[in-house]
Amino acid sequence: MFDAVIVGAGFAGLYMLHRLRGLGLTARVYEAGKGVGGTWYWNRYPGARCDVESMDYSYSFSDELQQEWRWSERYSAQPEILRYANHVADRFDLRKDIHFETRVTSAVFEEATARWAVETDQGDRATARFCIMATGCLSDAQIPDLKGLDSFAGKWYHTGKWPHEGVDFTGRRVGVIGTGSSAIQSIPLIAKQASHLYVFQRTPNFSMPAQNAPLDPEYERRVKESYADFRRQARESRVGFVTERSGDSALAVPAEEREREYEKRWRRGGLGFSAAYTDLLISKEANDTAARFFREKIRAIVRDSAVADLLCPQSYPLGTKRLCVDTGYYDTFNRDNVTLVDVRKTAIEAITSKGVRVDGVEYAVDDLVFATGFDAMTGALLNIDIRGRGSRKLSAEWAGGPRTYLGLTVEGFPNLFMITGPGSPSVLSNMIVSIEQHVDWIADCVSHLRERGLGTIEATAAAQEAWVQHVNEVGHMTLYPLAPSWYMGANIPGKPRVFMPYIGGVGVYRQKCDEVAAKGYEGFALGR
């Protein structure tokens, strides 16, 4: 019997455990991996790197931690972030409450006792007052259902489940399927090792140069001097980090000025590009000006004009599929040993014993890399058999798309919390800022219940309905629903097309959550 079971020991699970411990509560964490770190534990592909800057992408809950830890680059690479996660686990002595190599299979709310019964693939059975899902938004790796994969004689990998010992592609013919963020980061490095690299592209992406560099010690010093203020601004911002945000419409400024602004942001690099004008993600016409700028950049970098054309996104507005951040991606297509294969006009026909067949042509490869993404936001949750009151199954409740109150809770599932769940800013934000906000909110909520001798908290149907509507409404005020993205569930056959994250902004959302709490948990039923 625990006060809480936490599922997952990534950044969310680690901090949740730390907070609950601080309240004097008992918690058990179950983690499928052999170690902590979540995303950064699994995604070890070459070039894996965060696209949020290091000084932003780190915990703020401990000033000692944020002062003592030193990042080496502007954008941290996966091994460094994983070292950080391990450091946090050690520094706060978290490991003793984590059961590794243990996957939670079911979580059932027992009404008679108002407790969650959690079972794992290792045969554990634990009961707890609270069940907290820290399962990650991009953790359920997907391999497309392609004919013939069983017959492939070479080795194949998924970027999201990369072998810990690494993979040496030296002298090998490699195929990469997919051109999302994971592919865009790994392709330049794989190309340097492989004898030949085939990139199978269905949809080109917009990618910004990272302009990565060693972390400037002067910048680090300045941030550390005023870290509290830096963090406050991030929490109040739209996306969980501060970026120069213009108040102008892209259409209201002269073309030359707009180009100068885009050029400045391109040179600076990173995700801040979409903040250049207020209407880039609202007006298609405004967005077109930025998309055109990108396409010109691609054409200026890639020498073969047919290849450049294929790399130019045309079918969706810039930023409505997650913007990528790269180091040398477009330039990689100037190498003699790299071939871009279009699988948009004609889909991959089959994987054969020797390689990949497209439109009757067999591309022979020794190794295949699936950079094919994840069942985002809901996949990891729905892989667990979660049942609430009256044995209601979460999978049935969400058959038409996820329905939550604040992206934190679900009506009919008392005392179940999701960290960065659908209906919260989550994947549209700096994840660590959103994680900390949710963990703090949940910890405060649990304290509130305890202080008042209350046993349960549960979203009301009316509050959930209103929130779902609000999330939809604001989502549909933007261009996001125009893209067949994983935000919309479009990458998974049969998944309902719903814009899952909340786009109202991190600061606004935090205020809303704080107001709900301040009003005695408005929209929730509290029980004994």
Which residues contact ligand NAP by CB under 6 A?
49-51, 138, 144, 159, 177-183, 185, 200, 202-203, 322, 325, 343, 348, 371-374, 427, 486, 491
**Strand blocks (E) in 298-455:** 324-326, 338-342, 348-351, 355-358, 361-364, 367-370, 385-387, 416-418
37 versus 180: smaller Cβ distance to ligand NAP = 180
| H-assigned helices in 78-168 | 78-91
Kindly state the smallest distance separating residue 479's Cβ from ligand NAP, in Å: 16
Q: What are φ and ψ of residue 417, in 5° steps? A: -120, 145
Long-range contacts of 337-341 (CB under 8 A, 24+ apart): 337/191, 337/194, 337/195, 337/196, 337/197, 338/187, 338/191, 338/196, 338/197, 338/199, 339/196, 339/197, 339/198, 339/199, 339/363, 340/199, 340/201, 340/307, 340/310, 340/311, 341/198, 341/199, 341/200, 341/201
Kindly state the smallest distance separating residue 50's Cβ from ligand NAP, in Å: 5
DSSP class of residue 111?
Answer: T
Kindly state the smallest distance separating residue 182's Cβ from ligand NAP, in Å: 3
Kindly state the smallest distance separating residue 178's Cβ from ligand NAP, in Å: 3
The DSSP secondary structure of 400-434, one letter per residue, reads TS---BTTTB-TT-TTEEETT-BTBSGGGS-HHHH
Kindly state the smallest distance separating residue 430's Cβ from ligand NAP, in Å: 10
Distance CA 2, CA 132 (A): 12
Residue nearest to ligand NAP (CB): 180
76 versus 437: smaller Cβ distance to ligand NAP = 76
**Strand blocks (E) in 371-519:** 385-387, 416-418, 456-459
60 versus 203: smaller Cβ distance to ligand NAP = 203
Kindly state the smallest distance separating residue 148's Cβ from ligand NAP, in Å: 13
Q: Which residues partner with 406 through β-bridges?
A: none
56 versus 397: smaller Cβ distance to ligand NAP = 56
107 versus 177: smaller Cβ distance to ligand NAP = 177
Kindly state the smallest distance separating residue 347's Cβ from ligand NAP, in Å: 6
Kindly state the smallest distance separating residue 82's Cβ from ligand NAP, in Å: 13
415 versus 491: smaller Cβ distance to ligand NAP = 491
**Using CB atoms within 10 A of its CB, is residue 330 exposed (0-12), middle (13-18) or buried (19+)?**
buried
The structure tokens listed for 98 are 């984590």
180 versus 489: smaller Cβ distance to ligand NAP = 180
Kindly state the smallest distance separating residue 87's Cβ from ligand NAP, in Å: 20
Distance CA 432, CA 11 (A): 7
- Give CA torsion, residues 42, 38, 94, 507, to 10 deg: 150
CA angle 233, 500, 324 (to 5 degrees): 65
CA separation (Å) from 496 to 194, 378, 399, 499?
38, 11, 8, 9
Structural contact between residues 23 and 443, judged by C-beta atoms closer than 8 angstroms: yes
Kindly state the smallest distance separating residue 106's Cβ from ligand NAP, in Å: 27
Kindly state the smallest distance separating residue 340's Cβ from ligand NAP, in Å: 12
DSSP class of residue 30?
Answer: E
Distance CA 26, CA 2 (A): 5
**Hey, how many other C-beta atoms are within 10 angstroms of the C-beta on 140?**
20
Distance CA 392, CA 375 (A): 22
CA separation (Å) from 131 to 19, 97, 434, 442, 505?
14, 15, 19, 11, 27
